[in-house]
Amino acid sequence: MKKELLGGVRPENKTEDHRNCVYTRSYSKMSLRLAIFGQAPIAIECINKLIDANHEIVVVYAPEDGGRPDALAQHARELDLQVVQRRYFQSKKGEAIPNALNEYKTHNVELNVLASFTYFLPAEITDAPIHKSICYHPSLLPLYRGGNALQWQIIDGAPETGVSIFVPDTGVDTGPIVNQKGGVTIGATDTTGSLFFNKLAPLGVQAILEAVSSIESKTVTYKTQDQSQATFQGLVKDADARIDFKQPAEAIDRLVRGCDPQPGAHIQDGDQLIRLYDASLEMGGDASPGSLQYVDEKGIVIGLRGGTLRLGRIRADRGKEPAQDYVRRLEIPIGHVFDSGRL
């Protein structure tokens, strides 16, 4: 592993590339000194593209390592970037943690880029750079403010979505908008996971790059959000993810897809809570809601009001597994009726 450069100080010319550190880079007088706060995959792609655009990334703030090394931290270190892995930047009172703030100040940042960053930052950090901060959000603000915007858009049946890049302020996703990109169709089989990774993450990287470029060139415009059009949804909790078989098929399908991968929409079988994943809906038929219709090598099919729902995976007593393996292991018969999720 290459030695990190203290304080993000970098040579004016360096030979590297994004995969094995072998390309040439030099900084122009117009390049901005950036701090990247985020997580994979958006932050990784932002780093690559911003370096290509000749910006100087002086520090990368990545999540702490879990059971395995964090992908963003690992990628940044491979590029010889200064890396800080920290979860908390402010106290429960919202005040900056002194050692976190002091460390941040050493980098002389001109713009913070929050690329899918999920932790709280105090104003002493977000407002510190000359150009302050820009933040990625997976909705067309002011619609769907809040930390689970993607989940709620699928659950609510929104036909389209997009991304917003905005300047954080004291509210929740309420700051001025720097860039927006819409027109993203929410497909009939999209989950929160597929919508983010396949559609909104790549679009978000593009929107961030355009925002940084406009700030650098001093062509940026700041659009105040229309509060009269604003909507806010809280986090999707287990009570929200409960499946009620009295609901119509379309609503249950959207709930399962919106809660995939987290927190997982759930039903009940006796005392066993079962979370559902990889859903696809077929309308029509008169199957009894909650009943097991058939089992094949692609999963299981259960009845709903006005349709049937195929499920590829479930999570019950043994973690995630193919849905067909679960019902076969427990010898659950065709016609068995699962219960609605419990509150």
Please provide the DSSP assignment of 64-92 as one string. Answer: PP-SS--HHHHHHHHTT--EEE-S-SB-T
Q: Are residues 210 and 280 in the same domain?
A: no
Please state, in angstroms and rounded to a whole number, the distance separating the CA atoms of residues 35 and 240: 36
Boundary-marking domain end, from 195, 229, 263: 229
Please state, in angstroms and rounded to a whole number, the distance separating the CA atoms of residues 230 and 294: 44
Residue 35: per-residue pLDDT: 99
Residue 268 host element (H or E): strand 265-269
**Domain CATH for 87:** 3.40.50.170
User: Coil, strand or helix: which one is 97?
Assistant: coil
For the beta carbon of residue 333, count every other beta carbon within 10 angstroms: 9
Range of the domain at 86: 6-229
> Could you read off the pLDDT tens digit of each residue along the chain, which spans 343 residues?
333 322 333 333 333 444 444 334 444 456 899 999 999 999 999 999 999 999 999 999 999 998 899 999 999 999 999 999 999 999 998 899 999 999 999 999 999 999 999 999 999 999 999 999 999 999 999 999 999 999 999 999 999 999 999 999 999 999 999 999 999 999 999 999 999 999 999 999 999 999 999 999 999 999 999 999 999 999 999 999 999 999 999 999 999 999 999 999 999 999 999 999 999 999 998 999 999 999 999 999 999 999 999 999 999 999 999 999 999 999 999 999 999 999 8
Residue 30: per-residue pLDDT: 65
Q: Are residues 97 and 191 in the same domain?
A: yes
Residue 123 CB burial class (10 angstroms; 0-12, 13-18, ≥19): middle
Q: Are residues 29 and 102 in the same domain?
A: yes
Residue 18: per-residue pLDDT: 47
Number of domains in the chain: 2
Q: Are residues 32 and 130 in the same domain?
A: yes
Q: Are residues 255 and 163 in the same domain?
A: no
**Domain CATH for 262:** 3.10.25.10
Judge contact between 164 and 180, C-beta under 8 A. Answer: yes
Q: Are residues 57 and 202 in the same domain?
A: yes
> Rounded to two decimals, what is the model's pTM?
0.89
Q: Are residues 16 and 128 in the same domain?
A: yes
User: Coil, strand or helix: which one is 105?
Assistant: helix
- Asked if the structure places residue 235 within a domain, the reply is no
3-state per-residue secondary structure call for 143-174: CCECCCHHHHHHHHCCCEEEEEEECCCCCCCC
Residue 31: per-residue pLDDT: 84
Q: At what angle do helices 149-156 and 249-258 cross, to 10 degrees?
A: 170
Residue 66: per-residue pLDDT: 85
Q: Are residues 150 and 183 in the same domain?
A: yes
- Asked if the structure places residue 236 within a domain, the reply is no
Q: Are residues 200 and 273 in the same domain?
A: no
Residue 67: per-residue pLDDT: 84
Among all chains, which residue has been given the structure tokens 């090598």? 297
- Asked if the structure places residue 108 within a domain, the reply is yes
Please state, in angstroms and rounded to a whole number, the distance separating the CA atoms of residues 295 and 74: 42
